[in-house]
Structure 1
Amino acid sequence: MGSYKKIFVLTGAGISAESGIPTFRDPGGVWEKYDLTEVATPEGFRRNPDLVHEFYNQRRKELLKVKPNPAHIALAELEKHYPGEVLVVTQNVDDLHERAGTRNLIHMHGELLKVHCELCGQVFRETGEIFTHTPCPACGKAGGLRPYVVWFGEMPLHLEEIYEALKKCDLFVAIGSSGTVYPAAGFVEVARGSGAYCLEINLKPAENAHLFHEHRYGPASEKVREWVKELLEGV
C-alpha cells in the first residue's frame, strides 16, 4: 500500500463485537432479541418511553463493563503516528474508540453515553440510568430526556462534514461494517468516485464488498492491527 495524505476509516458493529458488544443483524444479535420498532424508533419512544429507557439503561451498563480491543487501539496508534490525516467515522454508539485514544472521530449515529433533552436542546454525558421522570440537568424539566442516538427514520449526524471528508480522502477503509445500512453503505461509492483506494476489513464480505479494491477477511483485532503495522512501516 502506498502513502496517503488523507485516510477515511469507517467502523461498524464488527469492530466492537470482539470487545463483547453484540452486533445488531448477525444471528443472535440485538434485533433477534428486541423489536427494533419498539426500542429504536421515534414512534416506539412516544408509545412507550419507559421501555426505551430500560433498553438503553441496560446497554449503558453493558458498555461500561467492556474494554477497547486491539483493533480500536491500532486505529488510535495510526492516528497518533501516521504523518497524514486520519479521520475515523463510526456507526457505533459506544465510546471504545475514545477510550483507545482516537481523537479525530465522528459519531454519525450518536453516543450511548450521552442524553439529549428535547425540551431545551442540550446534550450531556450520562453513564447512569435515565427514566421518564428524570429531570434535565440543564433546564430542570422532566419528560424531555431521550438517548442521544439516531433511531430508524432519523437523519444521521454530521453528514455534511462526512461527505466533505469522503470527497477529499485518498484511502477509504471500511472495518466491520455490514454494507447494508445507508447512507454509510454508500460511502465507498463516494470515496471511490473521488479517486480513493478502497479497502474492506471484515469478518466476511459485506453486501457492498464488490465496490472495494482490496479485501482482508478475519477478526478485526488481527486484521486491523496487521494493516496498521504495514501502513506505519511503509512510512
Structure 2
Amino acid sequence: MQKFKFTRGLVVKLLILFIALPLVIQMHWLPFYQLAKVLTPGSSSDWLQFWGSYLGVMPSGLIAVFVASYQIESAQNQIDEARKEDLIIMRNTKIVDYLYEIKNALSKSEVILNTDKPLSLDVDMYNYLQTPEHIIFEDLNWKELKNQNNRLYFLSKIIFDEVKDERFYTEMNNYTTAIKSINSFIVLHERLNCGNGNDGEHHDTDINFRLPDMVSIINRLFVIVNRKINELSA
C-alpha cells in the first residue's frame, strides 16, 4: 500500500482550494452559487462572519496538518536509518565472526605445517602427514589440513569477493595448489609403497611442495584477514 505524504505543494493547493471555493460561491458563479443558496441561505453579514471564522481556522488547521505530517515523516526516516545501521552492525558482526573462524583454520594449518621435524625424505614426510604417532589435533595431520582447507574455501566464498579481494584469492589459490600437491604426493607414495602390488622395496616419491612456503602463504593471508577485521570493526 502506497504511503500518503503531505508535501508543501499539496498544502499550497489545498490552501488555494479552501479560499477559492467560498470565493466562487460569494461571487455568484454558477453552478456553485445556486447550490450554496439552497444549502446555506443567509445575508452578506453571514458571509462576513463565515469568512472571519473560515480564514481564521483554515490556515492554522493546514499548518497543524503539515507540521504533524513532517514530524511523522522525520521520525519514520530516523527509525529507518537506525534500522539500517543496526542491520549493518549485525552483518559486520557476523562477518567478523566468520573472519575469526578463518583465522582459526589458518592457525591450525600453520601449527601442522610449521614443524621442525626433518622431513627431507619422502618417507618421513609421508609418516608425518599420514601416521597416528604424529597427530597434533584430533585427526591425522593430512586429514586435518584437508578439513581446514575445505573450511577456508567455504568461508572465503561467503566473505571475500573474487574481484575486489583479488590478492586474497591469489594467495588462497597458491595455498590450494600446494594442498593438491600434497594430495598427489600421498596418493603416489601409497601406490608405490603401500599397495598390494608393492615388491617390498621403497620407491622414492618426489616432494614438489615446501611446507615453509605454505606457512609464508598463511602468514600473508593472516595480514589480509586482520585488515578486513579492522575495517569492519572501525
TM-score range, shorter chain: 0.3 to 0.5
The structure where strand makes up a greater share of residues is 1
Q: Per chain length, whose mean CA-contact separation is higher, i.e. which structure has more relative contact order (CA < 8 Å, sep 6+)? A: 1
TM-score (structure 2 length as normaliser): 0.32
Q: Which has the larger radius of gyration?
A: 2
The structure where helix makes up a greater share of residues is 2
TM-score (structure 1 length as normaliser): 0.32
